[in-house]
Structure 1
Amino acid sequence: MTALRSQYDLWQCLSTGAEDASSNLDLGEFLVENQGRRFACLGITDSLQEIEKVDDPKALNPLLLPWDIGRCSLEQKKHTDTSQVIWIATSNLGQKIIAEHVQQWKHPDVPPNRNEYIQLGTAIRRSISDILGAPLLSRITAILPFLPFTLKEKRAIGTEAVLSYRILLNRPFSSEDMNAIVDRSVGDTNLVEEEGARSLYRIVETHIVNFNESTHYA
């Protein structure tokens, strides 16, 4: 999205996935080649990552037709069928609203009920509509807020981080040491909730460095 400068740039965007077999195709070519095929959605999810970072919201206008009627003109004098494509866009625009709602919930460390989740999605929709415009937002089927990690999720991510660094350092950790590193990382006051998993990975790395400088982590 940061590369878009005008509404003529969208279909020329290339995939950023290094392992993507179709990375030599731009988005328009990919849609033409895979039109009518349901799995085509998997190839374009990253194309709309952090959608709010587009330089000019008007550059997103080419999405109006495919999101509305399921087709667009990518080839001369011929429509391209996009009716089977599932478009997924991510954004950080609702982060502050999510934090405010979670603080108001009675049990912020457990999943919200359906009504709470729907209310949160509606609040985010209204907020980003002011930025991206009602014509685009009206064509988005659902807003799915990503909630802060629960304690169990933090421990799972922390364990994943320890295992990753263990492989990178080629050094074994006992289960006791791993649990100790995860416990201290999850409870670290330097953990920045707004940064999500990246912050937790960074904290884990710090505690592994401390671990390496000592004989054990008891």
Structure 2
Amino acid sequence: MGTTLQQHQEIAAFLRNAISRKEFAPGEPLPSESELCERFHSSRGPVRQAMATLRSEGLISSGRGRRTIVLDTVPTQSFDGVISYSEWCRQSGFEPGQVTQSVTRRPADEALAAALDIEPKSPVVSVFRLRLLNGVPAMVERLNYPLDVGRHLLTFDTDSGSIYQHLISSGVDIDNATRTIDAVGADADDARLLEVAEGTPLLRVRRRAFSSNGNTIESSDDRYLPGTASFTLNTIRGNPSPLSMVSAR
């Protein structure tokens, strides 16, 4: 069942998408509060809440007695939006979906054991899902967890929604994550689920998530169709960058 957006989320999604499409370019003003109230048949409260959301994402100026100006076309994201596909979709104004292919408990091979910082053959829980964007195939998701984390998924309906939110609700401590982004050719499973030819270039995002005490709690491999997602990072000279570029060789 889809999630109905609250009015302030609907307004924020409309403006975010319009800014992304450059209907409002950097330096240009947004519609006034009264214009947005009229467009969405809204009171000022939801409009102001939507504008506050866009300010927190770095998309617009603070206003303060003057027309609000567009600052950038790419929003910053919350941690939830970075690590959760479902939350990323909702923040972007899209409807997430999923079709689970398998949920298995199995022994970790050497590569997965190394990624999760556990002993080889230790039990892990692996989830393999096709992710949808407004009902259309967009990404193939391979998630792996040590058993003490993954056990929460063995009785969870992984077609019902966000695994990330379910783990958080189950008390799992997800504190920080790293992402490695590259390109990979679609394998047979990717090709079948994404309805493309084998070898089609896909955007691959490999993620490792950690608890606040440094324990590795997830190793994932997400493969996006071209044109589904892009990654933007703003850096400032003289300040450390969260981006590292390393040789793939």
Structure (1 or 2) with the greater strand fraction:
2
TM-score (norm 2): 0.21
Structure with larger Rg:
1
Greater relative contact order (CA < 8 Å, ≥ 6 in sequence)? 1
TM-score (norm 1): 0.23
